[in-house]
Structure 1
Amino acid sequence: MAAPTDAAGGADAPPETFTEAERARLLPYVTTLDGPVFALSGLPEVVKGALFARYSRSPKSLRRLFLDEFAGDVEPGEASAGGAVGVTRAEALYERVFVEYGDDSVAQLGGVHLACEGVSNVLTKVLEWGRLMAYLEQSTRYVPYDDRPGGRFRYHRPAELRGSPLAHRYATALDEAFLTYARWLEPLQAHFRRRHPRAPGDSETVYRNTIRAKALDTLRGLLPAATTSNVGLFGTGQAYEALLLRLRAHPLAEARQTADRILVELRKVIPAFLRRVDVPERGGAWSRYLAETRQATADAAARLLGDAVAEPRPEVVLTDWDPDGEVKVVAAALYAASDLPDDQLLARARRLGPDERAAVLRAYVGERRNRRHKPGRAFERTAYRFDVLTDYGAFRDL
């Protein structure tokens, strides 16, 4: 429920007052000194995490809490001079508050933007596995891969192949794939220019980019899984810890090497959030558990399915669905709009006719004016499972 507000838009709470000295102390670190809604700025992630950890167990406002319990750990003028609070001092502050007040959830309160460049498409999917992070990946739909930085096409050369007789075959096969891609880039653009002549209102730049995107979109299925890409990630300390534990347990050397690099860089900005990752009896034991269960499952699959041959299937197969899905979605849509318990709503939804259910769903979905207008979470009440066989170009989008 929204909090009552006055004419000026403030929440229905008594306004805070600060002395002039306190206002000067706060000003570098909060976006406003007067309103009830404000953001923190100029503080390291570990300090913000520690501050919020204490916040959850204190009756004080966040600004008052900072003044009373945290400001002494921050040297005046640091943020205004363009620097952040010292990481060493911030880490000690976080450790003190974590031990005294916090738990693992405190690591959800600090985030980092991280770039991983020149990683294989196989590794990008490992990096992007976590649900509680945000990702942006260099797009093969808009970036051509016909160049040769340093005289080599952009694909990963696995450490596992060094010194192996397969190394030459691997490089030859991938070079040929990239050469084929490069040979077809201009002919395909010419083909699309013939099929899609430039409209009178299109600028030359827009038209050229559109044609190139069509060609790249068509050709990217030729790019192998070893193709390298750049990935941007944003996540909390807790999400990065889970990512690192997973990478350190991965069978591919590229994943493990990238984990080492990520840990080095993250410890420059959120060191306290990642203390456990490489401690043998903590993160080490966790990564061993992940590796052991993966291997045990692979052994079980080999033992039980080793003689099975894959049967032919269409490229897309709906393998599982909920026969009561429509009823459940209708009941879930009505749940927040009624006072009835869930099981009673399910029973009522089952008795509704098709037109009545459709009316509920139409009301719930509303008039979507673009794809970003998404209905509520009632549609999460059911599930559909698809088995998709596709080339790597389409898999990148999926």
Structure 2
Amino acid sequence: MYILFLPGNKQKFFTTFPYSFFVTDFSNYDRNVFLVKLDRMIDRGALLSRYSRASELDIRDVYRKEFSGNEKKGEDFYRRVFVEYGDESIAELVTAQVAVQNVSNIASKIMEELRVGLSFLEKSSRYVRYDRKSSGRYPFMEAETVGITGQNAADYEQYCNDLFDFYSRNYEVAQNFFKRKYPLDSILFSDGHSAMKISDAGEMERKTMEKSYNSAVRARALDDLRFLLPGSTLTNIGISGNGRSFIHLIQKLQSTGLPEAVKLASELYFELSTELPELLKSAVSDHGKELTRYMSGLANFTANPDLEAPAQPKTVTLLESDDRRKALIRAVSIYEFSCGYGDLQTLMLSNGEMQDHMLGEKIRRLADMRENRRHKLHRAFETVWYLFQINTNYGAFRDLQRHRFISIVRKPLTALYGYDTPDLFQDSAEFHELMQKGKELWKAIVKKDGPMVAQYSVPYAYRYPVSAYLNLKELAFFCELRSTPQAHYDLRRIASDMYDAVKAVHPELSSMLKFVDTSDYALGRLKSEHMKERKLRDIKENVE
């Protein structure tokens, strides 16, 4: 018999397992908050799922009785629950971390459309060079893997190589361009209290300024160079999420019909099945296949696309918004409802009798409570909605898509809406020739292999209109975050335009957005790079 001595002279007696059970399987046994540390993730999920129907007060006792020494318990549990109840919600208690490497920026955006249950971290196009070859190839997906056939395959390979060659040739050119445009001796560096030029700094601080300046220039150069990258550019993604969402991811990839995406679905299923047996089977069950067929029908781009240019929308267009007064009354009333015992209907009737300036004063008092952008808006502001069309380049869209509370609806990437030209290439005939060549190649691939496959040939510079539906709370988060100096200038412009559009229709409610930065910055990354270099210098000094 094994005896565990607990605080307060309490004892627990166990006869079936050693004391090491507590050390290896749970972080403690005598407290109500503890880590579940079972070796297999599927066993962790199965055990936690027992909270739903177990009569025992302590799940650790359930483990001792049902799981300890039974290697198949977790698998058997999920098999039984799915058969008896069909309750897939329990799959959310099983998590996994997956690395996906050498995937295109077409497939990666399909994966990242999943907004619930999965967290993504992707290789940056702003801070990493993309002209390094591997096995003699630039980092873009081969025509055969993409599904491009015939002469288009050879033209596609040549075109992508031309884009990356131009990228590589202009890497140093770009940095020199921005050094001339923003000379080091003209830059003001701030330490948070005062600003100075490099000529006024001491030797140690001068070195710090030079490092931060060079890093900011490099980042600015890469911001412009990424316009050249094709949709087929390879990237790496780290994914952390729960089993239910991985099932949906597999089904979504299968439903696209894209060769790369279908292959990814199979590879994800194979790798996850080793860790989550039984659970993943629902992805390919009869119900799973039926759902995949339905999703395929929704996603299938069956329309015969017009290959001529349509109307060119503005970068940001506010298409619809809540009625100004109704939105104001609703947001104020729901906030007050959350703070007291009043009835919501009564509050809305009472506030409905107030004049706009009185309601606006309530909003201003709430706004005054916010001291920085990390002070998020109250949930009451999630009830105020806006519908935008955002027509930005594909590179900027990739940043926009990361905001998962924005409901984005999009279509396949095309070369129909024109392209953006960064400062670096304003006078570059070769850049414009490459963009025009890309449009002709896209048309050829659409005719032969379809619009879904043709996406891979389109450079990031091409404009990509999407619909974006979001609430005021998310709008504040997006506009305040993406208008910070270090954000990409395209996102800063979008954030500023969205803010201006909302101010025009909701002047009172827009006062909640206190930290939108509409200033212009020479080198947006400079301040953050300078702070980083100063911290690194201080750490080095303390160590020495």
SS at match of 1:388: strand
Q: Aligned AA for 1:67?
A: R
Q: Is structure 2 residue 12 aligned with structure 1 residue 18?
A: yes
Closer, same or farther: CA 269–191 of 1 in aligned 2, 3 Å = same
Which residue of 310, 325, 344 maps to 1:342? 344
CA deviations over 1:87-128 (Å, ceiling 9, x no partner): x55323443455567721100101111111111111111111
Q: Is structure 2 residue 55 aligned with structure 1 residue 71?
A: no
2:256–2:299 contact (8 Å) kept in structure 1: no
Deviation at residue 383 of structure 1 after TM alignment: 1.2
Q: Please report the TM-score for the alignment, with normalisation by the length of structure 2.
A: 0.62
Distance 2:55 2:147 in 1: 60
Distance 1:358 1:272 in 2: 56
Closer, same or farther: CA 34–102 of 1 in aligned 2, 3 Å = farther
Distance 2:348 2:161 in 1: 58
Q: Which residue of 2 aligns with 1:183?
A: 169
1:26–1:67 contact (8 Å) kept in structure 2: no
Q: Aligned AA for 2:153?
A: A
Which residue of 193, 210, 214 maps to 1:208? 214
Q: Which residue of 1 aligns with 2:313?
A: 313
Which residue of 47, 51, 58 maps to 1:55? 51
Provide the identity percentage: 30
Distance 2:20 2:141 in 1: 53
Which residue of 151, 164, 175 maps to 2:136? 151
Deviation at residue 203 of structure 1 after TM alignment: 5.4
CA deviations over 1:167-212 (Å, ceiling 9, x no partner): 1111122112222222222122123334151744325544432221
Q: Which residue of 2 aligns with 1:291?
A: 296
* Residue segments in structure 1 that go unaligned for 5+ positions in a row: 1-9, 74-85
Distance 1:286 1:178 in 2: 40
Which residue of 238, 248, 251 maps to 2:257? 251
Distance 2:368 2:49 in 1: 40
Q: Is structure 2 residue 74 aligned with structure 1 residue 90?
A: yes
Q: Which residue of 2 aligns with 1:32?
A: 28
Deviation at residue 27 of structure 1 after TM alignment: 2.6
1:108–1:236 contact (8 Å) kept in structure 2: yes
Distance 1:42 1:209 in 2: 44
Distance 2:289 2:113 in 1: 20
Distance 1:264 1:119 in 2: 17
Distance 1:119 1:225 in 2: 11
CA deviations over 1:299-338 (Å, ceiling 9, x no partner): 4x55xx9799733321211111111323322222222112
Q: Which residue of 2 aligns with 1:6?
A: none
2:49–2:90 contact (8 Å) kept in structure 1: yes
Aligned length in residues: 367
Q: Aligned AA for 1:44?
A: R
Which residue of 218, 229, 247 maps to 2:235? 229
SS at match of 2:381: helix
Closer, same or farther: CA 155–375 of 1 in aligned 2, 3 Å = same
SS at match of 2:174: helix
Distance 2:152 2:14 in 1: 72
SS at match of 1:58: coil
1:53–1:97 contact (8 Å) kept in structure 2: no
Q: Aligned AA for 1:95?
A: R
Higher mean displacement: 260-269 or 44-53: 44-53
CA deviations over 1:348-395 (Å, ceiling 9, x no partner): 333333343334334445544443331222221121111111112211
Q: Is structure 2 residue 140 aligned with structure 1 residue 138?
A: no
Q: Is structure 2 residue 373 aligned with structure 1 residue 379?
A: no
1:140–1:216 contact (8 Å) kept in structure 2: yes
2:333–2:347 contact (8 Å) kept in structure 1: yes
Distance 1:111 1:361 in 2: 41
Distance 2:307 2:171 in 1: 42
Q: Which residue of 2 aligns with 1:361?
A: 363
Closer, same or farther: CA 25–334 of 1 in aligned 2, 3 Å = same
Q: Which residue of 2 aligns with 1:197?
A: 184
Distance 1:121 1:395 in 2: 11
Q: Is structure 2 residue 170 aligned with structure 1 residue 174?
A: no
Closer, same or farther: CA 316–93 of 1 in aligned 2, 3 Å = same
SS at match of 2:278: helix
1:55–1:65 contact (8 Å) kept in structure 2: no
Q: Where do 1:96-115 residues align within 5 Å?
A: 96=80, 99=83, 103-115=87-99
Q: Aligned AA for 2:31?
A: G
Distance 2:216 2:9 in 1: 54
Distance 2:276 2:210 in 1: 46
Q: Which residue of 2 aligns with 1:46?
A: 42
Deviation at residue 218 of structure 1 after TM alignment: 1.9
Distance 2:374 2:279 in 1: 34
Q: Please report the TM-score for the alignment, with normalisation by the length of structure 1.
A: 0.83
Closer, same or farther: CA 140–306 of 1 in aligned 2, 3 Å = closer
RMSD: 2.8
Deviation at residue 16 of structure 1 after TM alignment: 8.4
Deviation at residue 288 of structure 1 after TM alignment: 1.3
SS at match of 1:143: coil
2:38–2:44 contact (8 Å) kept in structure 1: no
1:15–1:34 contact (8 Å) kept in structure 2: no
